[in-house]
Structures are given as C-alpha cells and as structure tokens.
C-alpha cells in the first residue's frame, strides 16, 4: 500500500482524512456535493497510516447517514477491474467496514453491496466478516455456494479451504454452512474444519526455536541466525536467556554485550536491562557509541524499558544527546520522571516536533508525559500537534494531555472531540466538554441513544446527562 497523501489540516478533505470532529461539523455546513466528494475520497482511498490503531469506519458511516449519501462511487471502487489485480485488503477494507456500519444502521443498499462483494470480490473474507455480524441466516446461507466455488475440489483447493476456515475471524457463516441441508455444502465445510483442527495440532506438536537445555551460546547463535535472515529475534532470545542462564554465565553475557556479534550483543543488552544489572547503563552507552545501527537501536530500546531510579538519573544526563539514546532518555523521563524533569520533557517534545514533524513516532510517549506532569506551557505545542497530525491515535493522546494542561480545553477542543473518529477521544470529550454549548447537549444525547456507540462512551455520556436520553 502506498503512503497516503494527506491534505492540509485547514481543508475539508484534510479534516475528514484525519477523522477530526471538525471534519463532520464542516461537512454538515458545506455544499452537499462537496462534502460527499471529500467523504467518498476518504472511504475509497484509506487515509490511515496504521489501520490497526486508527478508526475511521464508524466516523465515515455516520457522516454518510447525516448527508444521506449515495453508494455509487463506493460500488464502483469495489467492483472496479483493479480488484482482480490488487488483492491487498487495504484497497477495499475501509470501504467494506463503512458498508458494515451502514448495514447495521438499516441501509439495505449497503447490505446488498456487501453480499455481492462477498460472492465475487477479491477481499471477500472481510466482507463475509462484516456480514457475519449483521446479516440474517438466510442471507449468509445464500453465500455458501459462491464462496465454496472459489476453491477447487482437489487436494490444493481442499487445503486452501481448510486454511480459510481455520483462520476465519468470524466463524458464524462457517458454522451455518456446516449444518447446511445441502450435503455438497455441509460435507465440504465439515471436512475443511476437521483438516484445519488437525493442521493446528500438528503445528503445536512441531514447535520451532529454543529447546530446554540450550546453552547461553546456543541462544546467542539462534539470535544471530535470525538476524542473518532479516528477522530480529533478540527480544525472544533474551527471554530464552533468562530461562537458561545462571550466575556462572554472567561473564560470558557481559562479554557479548561489549563486543559480541550483533545478534548476541542485542540479546545480551536486552537481557541485562530486563534484569537491572548494575553494569547495564554503561554497556548501553558503549553500544550506542560504537555499535552498528541494529545494536544502537536495540540498546536504546533496552534502556527505555528500564525502571530503576538509576535509569531515570542517567536519563537526566542523556536527555540532551542528539541521537537515539537522547530521544529514549526523553521518553524515559516522560514516563517515569518527576516534576523536576518538566523542562527536559518539554524540550524533548519541542525538539521532536521541530525535527520530525507532527507524526514523529516518539511523540506519543512525550505527549503522554506532558499530560502526566501537567506541563501547562506545553499546551501550545500540544494544540499544534492535535491540529496537524494525520494520526487519530496520536490526536487522542494530545486531547488527553490538553485536558490536563489547557484550561480552555472544555470549551475548545473537547467540543469537537465529541464527533471524533476515535471512541477513546469521544469518551474523554464526553467527560470534559462544557454543556453550556447547545451543540454539546444535543451531541451527548445522540451518542447515548446510538446503538453503534461504544459502551465506554455511553457510560461517560450518561454520567453527564442522566439515563433518559432523547431519541436520535
């Protein structure tokens, strides 16, 4: 999947791509055709950098309902000829998830699109999962024949079918089909289920990796072998080392941490850091000074995991370093520092934004730290990151930090957060938004009555307005 192109934050498209509450509010006042064009653009060109931690589907589905939007462009996107060649689920996953929410709101056209795509589309498993949650038994049974027709009735086809049944995210359709009165349907599904269970048992009986009785050297060799083939195994290797190493092995582990091969050095540093060994901090500093890029990254990561007072004190010394260790030190202080570290954390936050922009990976921890330490003068930076970041996950963390540092939050960003794409951000807004704003009261009532809303959000809403919300 190509990196999404995000429009400026001041445009309607940019707001909708980011999933900001202001995106919905602006779309509802913009010309309908313009709003629908921007909305459809987002649904058919997933704007998320990481779909595993960012939500958009319910946000876009609600706006489709509010605009009474047609699904013609989504249909064209799903059934485009490209679907036969680009089978990556990222091309169609967001559109299918939006259709799933629309179907749950009673949009029959969305349900029919999901059924058609499940029967003929390349990302049919995603569509089937959406239907498993929302379609009736009759609708799912009608899909049995076209779905099974995808798999040849030979050894290879039966193996592929068994793998799909075994790995199904939502098992409901397969359970229905296993009980189908048509023998040619139910027999194939039951056989695939039995084969999948047997395959899982075989994998469990043939585990790979370290075995009881391995030596420290064997664990180091295993970590290096993984690195040689492009797999970083030093984290599981460090756990294995904790199981096999004794006090008599400490000299060998220290040698590996100082001058071992990359696999052994990364493993040893991680093991020593997890055990708060007294020599760890000096070894980490040495590794950052003379190690390869792989070792430097592993050393900084190992340091960031340390919980001791000595690690926090060393972080105060390292926080100004212009390297990975300095960045890790800033995050350590953000997580475990005290009020005396406010300036260092604020400096790290400003430097991260100035150097790497509002989507820098390090920002999440620093933003949390600014909120935890109540750094009031960090509010301008937090507001800037809130507006500009393309990550709705990071924006939610900024909102939480602003709630702790910005006295204007309740009457400012908290109001728009009630329409945010992230449920945790909506929950935060429900607890903080100033109810003197008429929009806030109406939005709280809608969230309380919306069956698609998360339980945590509704609990927060009802703590503000009582338990008798007006209908949507």
How would you label 125-148 residue by residue, b for 16+ Cβ within 10 Å and e otherwise? bbbbbbbbebbeeebbbebbeebb
Question: What are the tokens at 187?
Answer: 């027999």
465 band by pLDDT with thresholds 50, 70 and 90: confident
Residue 438 has pLDDT above 60, yes or no: yes
What percent of the chain has pLDDT above 90? 79
210 in Cβ contact with 219 (< 8 Å)? yes
Question: What are the tokens at 177?
Answer: 């089909």
Residue 261 has pLDDT above 50, yes or no: yes
> What SS3 state is found at 147?
helix
153 band by pLDDT with thresholds 50, 70 and 90: confident
Residue 196 has a pLDDT of: 52
52 band by pLDDT with thresholds 50, 70 and 90: confident
314 band by pLDDT with thresholds 50, 70 and 90: very high
Q: What is the DSSP letter of 294?
A: H
Average pLDDT over residues 445-453: 93
Residue 214 has a pLDDT of: 77
How far, in Å, are 63, 302, 314, 340, 446 from residue 281 at the CA level?
Answer: 52, 10, 8, 22, 53
Per the model's pLDDT, the better-predicted residue between 320 and 328 turns out to be 328
Residue 351 has pLDDT above 70, yes or no: yes
What percent of the chain has pLDDT above 70? 94
Residue 236 has a pLDDT of: 92
Question: What are the tokens at 29?
Answer: 């006042």
**Residues contacting residue 469 through CB under 8 Å, at least 6 positions apart:** 444, 445, 448, 449, 461, 462
Average pLDDT over residues 76-99: 93
**Residues contacting residue 188 through CB under 8 Å, at least 6 positions apart:** 148, 153, 158, 161
Residue 243 has pLDDT above 50, yes or no: yes
| DSSP secondary structure string for all residues of 221-257 | HHHHHHHHTT---HHHHHHHHHHH--GGGHHHHHHHH
- Please give the Cα distance from 59 to 419 (Å, whole number): 8
- Please give the Cα distance from 61 to 312 (Å, whole number): 46
Residue 156 has pLDDT above 50, yes or no: yes
209-230 pLDDT tens trace: 445 467 899 999 999 999 998 8
208 band by pLDDT with thresholds 50, 70 and 90: low
Average pLDDT over residues 126-131: 96
Residue 346 has a pLDDT of: 97
Average pLDDT over residues 176-205: 75
Q: Determine which helix (DSSP H) or strand (DSSP E) holds 440, and give its type and residue range.
A: helix 438-449
349 band by pLDDT with thresholds 50, 70 and 90: very high
Residue 213 has a pLDDT of: 61
Boundaries of every domain in the chain: 12-205, 208-306
Question: What are the tokens at 304?
Answer: 């960031």
| DSSP secondary structure string for all residues of 357-417 | -TT-TTHHHHHHHHHHTT-GGGHHHHHHHHHH-S-HHHHHHHHHHHHHH-TTGGGTHHHHH
**Residues contacting residue 284 through CB under 8 Å, at least 6 positions apart:** 269, 273, 299, 300, 302, 303, 325
- Phi, psi for 135 (deg, rounded to 5): -85, 160
Residue 212 has a pLDDT of: 47
Residue 467 has a pLDDT of: 43
Residue 206 has a pLDDT of: 52
Average pLDDT over residues 392-416: 96
Residue 207 has a pLDDT of: 52
Residue 198 has a pLDDT of: 42
219 in Cβ contact with 235 (< 8 Å)? no
Put simply, whether the predicted model's pTM sits higher than 0.85 gets the answer yes
């Amino acid at each position: 999947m190509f990196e999404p192109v995000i429009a400026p934050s001041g445009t309607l498209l940019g707001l909708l791509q980011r999933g900001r509450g202001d995106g919905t509010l602006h779309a509802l006042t913009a010309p309908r055709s313009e709003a629908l064009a921007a909305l459809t653009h987002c649904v058919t060109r997933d704007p998320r950098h990481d779909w595993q931690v960012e939500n958009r589907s319910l946000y876009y589905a609600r706006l489709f309902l509010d605009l009474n939007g047609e699904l013609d462009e989504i249909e064209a996107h799903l059934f485009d000829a490209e679907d036969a060649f680009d089978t990556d689920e990222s091309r169609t996953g967001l559109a299918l998830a939006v259709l799933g929410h629309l179907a749950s709101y009673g949009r029959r056209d969305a349900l029919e699109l999901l059924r058609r795509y499940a029967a003929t589309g390349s990302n049919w498993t995603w569509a089937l999962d959406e239907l498993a949650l929302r379609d009736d038994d009759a609708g799912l049974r009608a899909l049995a024949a076209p779905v099974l027709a995808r798999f040849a009735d030979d050894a290879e086809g039966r193996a592929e079918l068994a793998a799909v049944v075994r790995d199904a995210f939502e098992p409901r359709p397969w359970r229905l089909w296993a009980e189908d009165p048509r023998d040619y349907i139910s027999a194939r599904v039951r056989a695939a289920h039995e084969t999948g269970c047997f395959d899982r048992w075989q994998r469990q009986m043939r585990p790979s990796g370290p075995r009881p009785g391995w030596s420290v050297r064997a664990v180091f060799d295993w970590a290096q072998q993984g690195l040689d083939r492009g797999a970083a195994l030093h984290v599981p290797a460090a756990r294995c080392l904790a199981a096999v190493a004794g006090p008599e092995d400490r000299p060998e582990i220290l040698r590996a941490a100082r001058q071992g091969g990359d696999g052994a050095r990364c493993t040893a540093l991680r093991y020593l850091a997890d055990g708060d060994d007294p020599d760890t901090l000096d070894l980490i500093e040495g590794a950052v000074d003379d190690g390869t890029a792989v070792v430097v990254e592993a050393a900084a990561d190992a340091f960031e995991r340390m919980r001791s007072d000595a690690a926090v004190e060393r972080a105060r010394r390292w926080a100004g370093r212009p390297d990975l260790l300095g960045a890790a030190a800033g995050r350590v202080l953000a997580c475990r520092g005290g009020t005396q570290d406010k300036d260092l954390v604020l400096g790290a936050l400003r430097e991260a934004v100035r150097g790497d922009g509002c989507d820098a990976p390090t920002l999440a921890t620093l933003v949390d730290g600014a909120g935890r330490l109540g750094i009031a003068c960090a509010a301008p930076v937090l507001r800037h990151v809130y507006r500009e970041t393309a990550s709705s996950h990071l924006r939610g963390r900024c909102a939480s930090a602003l709630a702790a540092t910005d006295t204007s939050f309740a009457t400012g960003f908290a109001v728009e957060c009630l329409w945010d794409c992230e449920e945790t951000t909506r929950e935060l807004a429900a607890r903080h938004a100033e109810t003197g704003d008429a929009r806030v009261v109406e939005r709280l009532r809608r969230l309380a009555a919306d069956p698609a809303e998360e339980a945590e959000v509704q609990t927060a809403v009802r703590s503000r307005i009582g338990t008798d919300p007006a209908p949507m």
